[in-house]
Each structure stands twice: as structure tokens, then as C-alpha cells.
Structure 1
Amino acid sequence: MNSLSTLLRITSIKTETVDTKSFTLETVDGKPLVYKPGQFLTLLFKHSNGDEVRRSYSISSSTTLEEPLTITIKKIPNGEFSRKMVDQAREGNLLNSIGAAGLFTLPDSYPAHQRFCFLAAGSGITPIFAQIKSILYGSANRVILIYSNRSASSTIFLDEILQLKDQFKDQLMLELLFSESAILTQSRLTQGVLDQLAQKHALYKDDDTLFYLCGPSAYMRMINIKLRAEGISPESIKKELFLVEAPTHKLAEPPDTDRHSVTIYYNNRSFTIEVQYPESILATAKKQGEQLPYSCETGQCGTCAAICTSGKVWMRYNEVLGKKALTDGYILTCTGYPIDGPVTLKL
């Protein structure tokens, strides 16, 4: 077992749809696993050749409700481990995890007039479901959910969401879109349909609304472009990618490709490595046997984020760190390279 991992036991399994199940977990050592609504759990698996593989699954439980830790997994085509979990996992099975991570989270605090607009497609509802429950049960803030699916039968958490709508009639605004519907305005989320819903809920005119997007990349790209065109600040838009996709454009090289030392403080110890392009900080640490948190290794999840306390780190790719995080000194070790001299990082 990875020395940084936590052993989890599956205590119950619930079928959500024909291809999706929720897994309730407990730590074997009895210590609670800390997480925030919207984060994901990274599990460690073994390929048949013995290589370690990491897969991240969103947490659907809410700490506000003191629900037991639960992840929800949708079986995807050619998804070796999602298929194994959905088809073969049983109560009592043990799983290795490096814990919860991710930056797709709610603000630590927010004023009473803050609104939250969630746009989810398919299994993109998983982290959003945890966030919605946390807001509704923990505050009086208004929530708008625009949720796209193929049909009602394929809609994850549909019954629970309808119950929330019934319980929080004046606080939760719900828009369900089913692509099999013959009514165009109730099927797919196009820019035109988004305009209609935005007008209905005054989304473009309210600076106090935060937008959370989770679904296929093309779906989120369309929404992001539309929101930005309507004047919504990028700091008011959060996105969560489920499937890691290679960048479609050629990535630049760092302005400085010389070798520099990187000192890393993590897990109550420190170590120093020599990093030089083309190997990133994370890749160099792994090569030297140092265990650091990571998942996607492509700058798209945030698991490997660290704070740069001295020196400069240039990132080749970044899909998750916003302006505030960058200002606070956060960098991604998986796409980060030291430039202009030594660097010190804290995880």
C-alpha cells in the first residue's frame, strides 16, 4: 500500500441509474477523511502489469448533513476501473485512496445575498449535488440548478433533487432538460436556451451570482464562452473536468530550461530535488522515489497544487488555478518548472 494512502471499506452500494452506482465508504482505521463539498476522492488501482493507476471520483455526500463519505461512479466506455467498480465491487471490498482534493469548491464563507447557479450534464451532477445540499441545509442562499440529461430514467439523483425542490420551494430553482424531449426549449442546453433561462432567473444582470459548471468539455466550453460574452467575470465561473483531455494546441517551453533546485515541504518532512525541463517538478520527484499527491498529471485537477514560498515556477498548462489562487502563490507541480533560480514549495 502507498505510504500516503488511506484504506477504505465499502459499507453499502446504491444503484442510481442503469450505469451509475454510489459507494458509501468508511476508513478502516476509524479516522474521518476530511473533504469539502465539490471535491473528489482519488483511488489507487493496480494494472495487471503491476503499475499503479490513479482514478478520481467525485464525492456526492455532504459534510453539512454529516452524511457518510460517498462517491458516485458512472460506468464509461473503455473505462477499465469505472466498469470494475460498477460491475464488480461489493460491500466489504477495500480500496486505497490518497484522500480528497480538488478546487471545485464553495467559498469558505459567503454573504446571504450570494446566489449559486449550477449547470450540470449527466454525471456532472455528482459534485454539484453535494454542494447544493450543503447550501440548502446550511444557509438561506438561493440556488438555481440547470441539469441536462438524455431522459428522466438516466438522471442521477432525480428523486432526491425533486425532494429538495419540494422541501426548499422558495430557495431552489430547478430546470430539467431532457434531450429526448420534442420541445426544443426543454431538450438540449444551447446558447438560445441558456439565454431564455438567464432571462427567467436574471442570471446575466446579477453580479452576486457564482456559476459552477460540470459536464462534458464541449458543454462547459459553450457555457463558459456565453457567460464571458455576457460580461460574467472569470472569477465567478468554476469548472470541473471529469475526463482529462490532452491540450489541442502545442504547449510552450519554459523561458528558462536550466537545472534548478526545488525544496519541497510535505507531510512533516522536506527534501530537495534538481529539476530541469522537460521533466516537471512532479515527474522529477516521482523518478527519485518521493511520494507527492497527484492525479491527472496534466494540469486539469489541482490535486498536486502547492504554494511557492520562494523563487519562481512557470506552468506549462493550468486549467484549475484561478486569479486569486495564482496571486496567493499556488502552482501545479505536474506542469510546473523552476525558473530563474532555486524554488521552495509547501504542500
Structure 2
Amino acid sequence: MNDLSGIPARANWSDDELLECVSVIPEMNNTATFTFRAPSGALFDFLPGQFLTLEIPAPGGTVHRTYTVSSSPSRPRSISITAKAQEDSIGTRWMLDNLAPGVRIKAFGPAGVFTHLNFEADKYLFISAGSGITPMMSMTTFMFDLGSEPDIVFVNCARRPGEIIFRERLEHMASRLPGLDLKWVVQTPDRYQPWTGYQGQFNQLMLGLMAPDYLEREVFCCGPEPFMQVVREALQGLGFDMNRYHQESFHAPAETEADLPELDDVVPDEDTRAEVVFAVSRVTAKVAETDTILAAAKANGLNIPSGCTFGVCGTCKVRKTEGEVHMVHNGGISEDDIAEGYILACCSNPIGRVSVEV
């Protein structure tokens, strides 16, 4: 047995000490992983999924930016963040242009409540888009390093395969960890590179194929707000217990439970009444919010042509002339059609009074 008594104990890093950049690894265009160490040799103690706040000396003045830690606390001698610069980026752009080995920077934290350790479960479903993959990477690496076999369905959505951050590292872990099931979703393939995975916008159908037992999983989600709303609506529409759903915002990570924002999603209520006016047929139906426009039409002897009844085929597209609906579709209607007032009757729930051209 090795004698470790001669190894000196190290203190944990505190944000009184500057961080020193020790490596910058390009991940893709305008995206890099920055790794830091404490000049004193202190160790990093944090929860997987937490974030750091960096004090960045940008040209126009000091700015503070939060970045999720992409490394794992199971590897405590360094700490890494992975940042992507958007078109209007100030802080991340400065980092990409100026941070290099040897440069020191002020940081605060780590902090945050977005971690699987606060909601331990037998099964997890991690869903992310773009650089929202970073907390999922930290949590997955942590479980990988424990040496046991977790049950994780890991979903990441990107514009194209070449923009999936950490793809090779995650696939390497998955090759040694049967319990890590990777699912990539892209909008379009890379040119000259065949793509056999999922393609399009994440939706309920994909969810059911990726994780048929989603009702049994603890769900963690990170990405732009419109993406997270799509995920929430998909889960709500499938009857998922949203108390088991947890999300982290790109722009406003929460330091405490009290900082978590209230989700104001529209969720149809079976006890709330709505009214559907079929304008052409001159029929008005009193229904529950949980009834679809298609169901209301059929119940009143009206025929709206339909096919899949799951928001895929687009057969039941009709024009809405008044009111609001809650529509969770699976790709059967374009954004242009929605902007022109069209809905899919099979997956649209009336909210209040709604009029359609039927």
C-alpha cells in the first residue's frame, strides 16, 4: 500500500486569489476552453454544474461575465470554462483575443444550484443546445470519474455536427461507460459528411425515441430560452412531472434556490373553459383548454382533414383569425405559416376565445 503521508495537504482556492490561465484549447470557431490554476497550488472545490464569474478588463471598461465550469471537481487541480463568443460579445471576445497561458484574471465563485447532486436520481436526462452542454459535461465527467455506471441519456442540439462541443471526449467516455447514451441533434449536416443521426428541431417524437422511459428520469436542461421553452412544452405535453425538471439559463444563472425564476409557461388546464368559433361553419363550441381544436371540430360534426394527429404531417393546418392557442407541434408547420396565423388543429389547445376558418 502506498504511503501518502508525505504529500502536503493543500488548501482550497478562494476568490481572493487571482486565477492563472494555463491553457487555451480551441473547440470550434469563436469557442474555446480556458483552463486555470491557482498560483498557490490550491485545489478547486465546487459542485458539478456550478459557474464562475470572471472580472474581464474589456476595452470599454471592466465587465463581469458568468461561465459554467466545464471541468469536474473530481479533477481539482485545475478549473475550466468553455466560452462561445456571439456577434455582440464583449467579455468572451476579449478572452478569445487576450487570454493566454500566464495571464491572470480575477474570478468569483464557484456558485449556483444547477447540479445533479441536489437532485440525486437513478436515471438522468440531460438536454442541451450549443454551449449549454458545459454543465452537462461537468456532471457527466464527475459521474464517469466515480467509476460506477450511471444511467444518463445525454442529448445535445447543434446547428451542424462540426459544432457539437466535446463530441469526441463524450464519445470516448461513452465507449467505456455503457450507461452513457449519447444523442446528437443537428439542423443540417456538414458538407461532404454523411449524417445518420437526428436532424431538425428537438421535439416530442425525438424525446420518445431517445428516452422511452423519460417519465422515470430527472431532467436537466440548458440552452437559449426559446430552446428550453420547446423542451418544457414537449415534457408538459407528455405528462412529465415538472417538479423533476431543472434548467440553467445562459444569461441568468441562479446562485441560490431563491434566485430561480418562476416559469410562466402556458399550460392548458382541464378545469378552465375555452370557446372555439368555427367561423365558416358558424358553429361555436364550449370546450376545456385541454381539448384540441381538432377534437372540438369532430365533437361538433365538423371535418378538418387530419393524418398523424401528432403535429408531424401538417394535414390539419387551418388559419386562426382570432385569439390564442397553445401549440406544441413536431415539425409539421413552418415558422412562416405560424407568422401568417396558421395552426395545426391536432396539437393546438384554445386559450380563451379562438376563431378559426373552418
Change (3 A) 1:30 1:136: closer
> What is the root-mean-square deviation in Å for CA atoms of aligned residues?
2.7
Q: How far 1:163 sits from its partner (Å)?
A: 0.7
Counterpart check, 1:44 vs 2:52: no
Moved more, 216-225 or 232-241: 232-241
Does 1:302 pair with 2:312? Answer: no
Which one of 1, 4, 17 corresponds to residue 6 of structure 1? 17
* Matched-pair contact (CA < 8 Å) for 1:41–1:98: yes
C-alpha distance 72-179 of structure 1, shift in aligned 2 (>3 A): same
1:64 aligned to 2:74?
yes
Identify the residue that residue 312 of structure 1 maps to in structure 2.
none
For the Cα contact (< 8 Å) 1:103–1:320, is it kept in 2? no
Aligned amino acid, residue 39 of structure 1: Q
2:245 paired residue among 237, 244, 247: 237
Identity %: 24
- Taking structure 1 as reference, are residues 76 and 27 closer, same or farther at Cα in structure 2, changes over 3 Å only? same
Q: Is the 8 A contact 1:204 1:231 kept in 2?
A: no
In the superposition, relative to structure 1, how do residues 33 and 63 fare at CA in structure 2: closer, same or farther (>3 Å)? Answer: closer
Secondary structure of the 1:198 match is helix
The question of 1:29 aligning with 2:40 is answered yes
> 1 CA distance for matches of 2:134 and 2:87?
18
Q: Distance in 2 between matches of 1:69 and 1:203?
A: 34
Other structure's SS at 2:33 match: strand
1:131-173: CA deviation from partner (whole Å, max 9, x where unpaired): 11112332322010111111222121111011112111x2111
One-letter amino acid matched to 1:158? R
Cα 1:133–1:86 shift into 2, 3 Å: same
Q: Which runs of 5+ in 2 are unaligned?
A: 1-13, 264-358
Partner residue of 1:106?
116
Letter of the 2:235 counterpart: L
Report the 3-state secondary structure (helix = DSSP H, G, I; strand = E; otherwise coil) of the residue aligned with 1:64: coil
- Output the amino acid matched with 2:212: A
1:228 alignment partner in structure 2:
236
Structure 1 residue 5 displacement after superposition: 4.1
Counterpart-to-counterpart distance in 2, 1:109 and 1:122: 24
Please tell me the residue identity of whatever aligns with 1:37. P
Indicate yes or no: 2:171 matched with 1:159. Answer: no
Matched, 1:148 2:90: no
Conserved? CA contact 1:6–1:99, under 8 Å: no
Is the Cα–Cα contact under 8 Å of residues 8 and 26 in structure 1 kept in the other structure? Answer: yes
Task: After TM superposition, give the deviation of residue 62 of structure 1 in Å.
Answer: 0.9
1:319 is aligned, of 251, 261, 285, to 261
Query: Amino acid of the residue matched to residue 237 of structure 2?
Result: A
Secondary structure of 1:177's match?
strand
5+ residue gaps in structure 1?
244-299, 307-314, 322-347
Cα pair 1:301 1:320 within 8 Å, conserved = no
For 1:161 and 1:4, the matched residues in 2 are separated by 30
Q: Does 1:119 align with 2:71?
A: no
Q: How does 1:174-253 map to 2 (within 5 A)?
A: 174-181=182-189, 186-191=198-203, 194-206=204-216, 209-243=217-251
* Mapped partners of 1:218, 1:179: distance in 2: 15
Verify the 8 A CA contact 1:136 1:171 in the aligned structure 2: no
In the aligned structure 2, how far is the partner of 1:233 from the partner of 1:104?
18
Give 1 or 2 for the bigger CA radius of gyration.
2
Q: Which amino acid aligns with 1:160?
A: R
Q: How many residues align?
A: 245
TM-score, scaled relative to structure 1: 0.64
Q: For residue 185 of structure 1, report the CA deviation from its aligned partner.
A: 7.6
Determine if contact 1:61/1:67 at 8 Å carries over to the other structure.
Answer: no
Distance 1:39 1:301, change over 3 A: same
The 8 Å contact of residues 147 and 177 in structure 1, kept in 2 or not, is answered as: yes
Provide the TM-score with structure 2 as the length reference: 0.62
Change (3 A) 1:31 1:185: closer
- C-alpha contact (below 8 Å) 2:159/2:186 kept by paired residues: yes
Alpha-carbon separation, structure 2, partners of 1:109 and 1:119 = 16
The CA distance in 1 between the partners of 2:210 and 2:119, in whole Å, is 27
Equivalent residue number for residue 130 of structure 1? 138
Which residue type is aligned with residue 120 of structure 1? S
Q: Go from structure 1 to structure 2 and tell me whether the alpha carbon gap of 1:4 and 1:171 turns closer, same or farther (over 3 Å shift).
A: closer
